[in-house]
């Protein structure tokens, strides 16, 4: 279920994870931080649904 309009989200993240994200943006793997988070959440959702709704973390 994808909305046509994105919603704003504020989060707290560990500095090492933020640095990893920023590095991937600099490498042009992702467009920006938001793109990185959207990609990772979609990937996690797909894995979650594939694993019969069992938490993977």
Tell me the per-residue pLDDT of 18-34, one tens digit each, with 9 for 90 and over.
999 999 999 999 999 99
Q: What sign does the CA torsion over 42, 45, 50, 55 have? A: positive
What does pLDDT average to over the chain?
89
In a domain? residue 22: yes
In a domain? residue 8: no
Per-residue confidence band for 50, with pLDDT thresholds at 50, 70 and 90: confident
How many domains, the chain?
1
Domain membership of residue 44 as a residue range:
15-50
Residue 49 CA to chain centroid, in angstroms? 16
pLDDT, residue 38, reads 95
Spatial distance between the Cα atoms of 35 and 41, rounded to a whole number of angstroms: 10
In a domain? residue 4: no
In a domain? residue 36: yes
Token readout for 18 is 């933020």
Token readout for 25 is 């943006």
CB of 47 closer than 8 Å to CB of 40: no
**Any alpha helices (H) in 1-57, and if so which ranges?**
15-26, 33-50
pTM, two decimals, is: 0.74
């Amino acid at each position: 279920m994808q909305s046509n309009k994105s919603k704003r989200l504020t989060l707290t993240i560990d500095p090492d994870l933020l640095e990893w994200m920023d590095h991937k943006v600099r490498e042009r793997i992702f467009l920006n931080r938001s793109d990185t988070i959207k990609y990772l959440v979609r990937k996690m959702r797909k894995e979650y649904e594939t694993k019969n709704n069992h938490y993977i973390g």
